[in-house]
Each structure stands twice: as structure tokens, then as C-alpha cells.
């Protein structure tokens, strides 16, 4: 089993590691932690632990590390990420945001929505392409700006079908090319920053500033 935990202290992951009868590897940002103590192998994939609770580098580094463990070539990813960081992002034209993806793009859609909700407090939802094109479409209307991950092959065809359906409903749409999960999520990280800046909010504490209601509800972002 391969566990992924940036700080190595996630309670549910620790429970899973203790329950698993076989070897356990850990992909993390810390060489020493509760999970590291349980692991047969520890892969430290980030140079330091992120202070921001709206994790960005730790996510992309973990995804790259998992690809490497699967024997994939990741040497081009730093250059591609640098290029992605130069992208110009436009703020959504509607109050609600959905992110649509299929196959390898589905986890990216979920992570994109997590960043938007955490860092900019945006009403955002992830949809798997086929689910959207079936019953889920009934809950979507013209108040939505849809970001659609293009995918490849058959996924691209269905992404185009989704875009056409959403436009008929009056949604604003943005089709985004799919390069690699490490690269594709950068657009949404930049979008989160742009939205946070427009709203005048700090994305780092994910609304859990010490003493806030969100900190009381879900735990403070930092000690103190």
C-alpha cells in the first residue's frame, strides 16, 4: 500500500496503515512522522513542508512521485509547470463554478474544486463527464461557469459533448487542454489566487484563521 500524507499525521491514513497487513510506502513532505514510523519506505517528495494550508506544491510533487513509482518519465514536468505558471486566467463569468473531467482528468477536477473552495471560498463542484451528461445535468443552469478538461481520445469527444450541452443551458464554458495532472492543476491554482485576490481574502489559512468560526468548526490552520 502507498499512503500519501504531506505531514504524515492524518488520522484516517494512520488507521489504514496500521490495518494493512502488507508492506506500506509513504509519499510525504516529512522524513519523520507518525506515518513514517509505520512505513517500510518513505519517499520525501517536497523540499519542505508547506506553510499554506491550501496545498499546491505538495500536491503536484506527490502526483509526480506516484508517477515515478509507476515507472513513468517525469523529467519534463518542471519545464511544463514553469510554462503553465505563465498562463493568463480570467475570472469566472458566473457565480458558481463546475469543473468537468474524465479518466485521468477526474482527480484533477476534484483537486481543482478543492483549491477553489479552500483558497477563494468559491461555490465550486466537480463532475465526472459521463455523470454530468446524465442525471447530474438537471442541477446545472445558466448561473454556472464550467471549466472542462479536454482529455484525449474518446474523453475529448465526450468533453465536447459536455461543452455543447452546457452552452445550450446558457453556461459560460472554458475548455482546457490536458497535458499531465501535475501540469493541468496549475491553471486552477492560479485561478484560485486570482479569485482570492479579487475578493480580498488570504488563501493560505483556508478560512481557518485562529479564532475564526471555521477554526472552531474544523481546527485552526496554525497554532496560536
User: How much is the pLDDT for 222?
Assistant: 85
Residue identified by cell 452546457 is 166
| H/E run at residue 4 | strand 2-5
Do residues 133 and 127 make contact, with C-beta atoms less than 8 angstroms apart? no
| Fold topology of 84-199 | Rossmann fold (3.40.50)
Edge-to-edge strand ranges of the sheet holding 25-28: 2-5, 25-28, 41-44
3-state secondary structure of 126: strand
pTM: 0.94
- At a CB cut-off of 8 Å and minimum separation 6, what does 10 contact? 35
Q: Mean pLDDT, 10 residues at a time, over the chain (224 residues)?
A: 96 97 97 97 94 95 96 96 95 96 97 98 97 95 97 95 98 97 98 97 95 94 76
In the chain, list all ranges with CATH 3.40.50.10490: 2-77, 84-199
Q: Phi and psi of 81, rounded to 5°?
A: -65, -40
- At a CB cut-off of 8 Å and minimum separation 6, what does 1 contact? 16, 17, 20, 22, 23, 24, 25
Q: How far apart (Å, rounded) are the C-alpha atoms in residues 57 and 220?
A: 21
Residue identified by cell 454556472 is 144
Residue identified by cell 463542484 is 125
Q: How far apart (Å, rounded) are the C-alpha atoms in residues 74 and 82?
A: 14
User: How much is the pLDDT for 224?
Assistant: 53
Do residues 204 and 221 make contact, with C-beta atoms less than 8 angstroms apart? yes
| Fold topology of 2-77 | Rossmann fold (3.40.50)
**Residue 43: how many CB atoms within 10 A of its CB?**
18
Question: In whole angstroms, how far apart are CA 7 and each of 62, 118, 151?
Answer: 12, 18, 31
Amino acid at each position: 500500500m502507498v499512503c500519501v500524507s504531506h505531514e504524515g499525521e492524518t488520522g484516517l491514513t494512520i488507521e489504514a496503515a496500521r490495518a494493512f497487513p502488507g508492506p506500506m510506502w509513504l509519499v510525504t513532505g516529512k522524513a519523520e512522522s507518525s506515518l513514517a514510523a509505520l512505513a517500510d519506505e518513505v519517499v520525501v517528495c517536497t523540499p519542505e513542508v508547506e506553510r499554506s494550508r491550501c496545498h499546491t506544491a505538495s500536491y503536484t510533487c506527490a502526483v509526480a512521485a506516484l508517477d515515478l513509482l509507476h515507472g513513468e518519465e517525469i523529467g519534463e514536468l518542471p519545464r511544463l509547470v514553469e510554462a503553465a505558471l505563465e498562463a493568463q486566467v480570467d475570472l469566472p463569468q458566473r457565480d458558481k463554478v463546475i469543473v468537468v473531467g474524465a479518466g485521468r482528468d477526474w482527480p484533477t477536477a476534484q483537486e481543482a474544486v478543492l483549491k477553489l473552495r479552500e483558497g477563494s471560498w468559491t461555490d465550486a463542484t466537480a463532475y465526472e463527464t459521463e455523470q454530468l451528461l446524465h442525471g447530474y445535468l438537471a442541477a446545472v443552469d445558466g448561473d454556472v461557469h464550467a471549466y472542462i478538461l479536454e482529455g484525449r481520445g474518446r474523453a475529448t469527444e465526450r468533453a465536447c459533448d459536455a461543452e455543447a450541452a452546457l452552452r445550450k443551458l446558457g453556461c459560460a464554458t472554458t475548455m482546457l487542454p490536458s497535458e499531465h495532472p501535475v501540469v493541468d492543476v496549475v491553471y486552477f491554482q492560479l485561478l484560485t489566487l486570482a479569485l482570492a485576490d479579487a475578493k480580498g481574502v488570504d488563501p493560505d489559512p483556508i478560512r481557518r484563521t485562529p479564532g475564526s468560526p471555521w477554526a472552531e468548526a474544523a481546527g485552526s490552520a496554525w497554532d496560536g
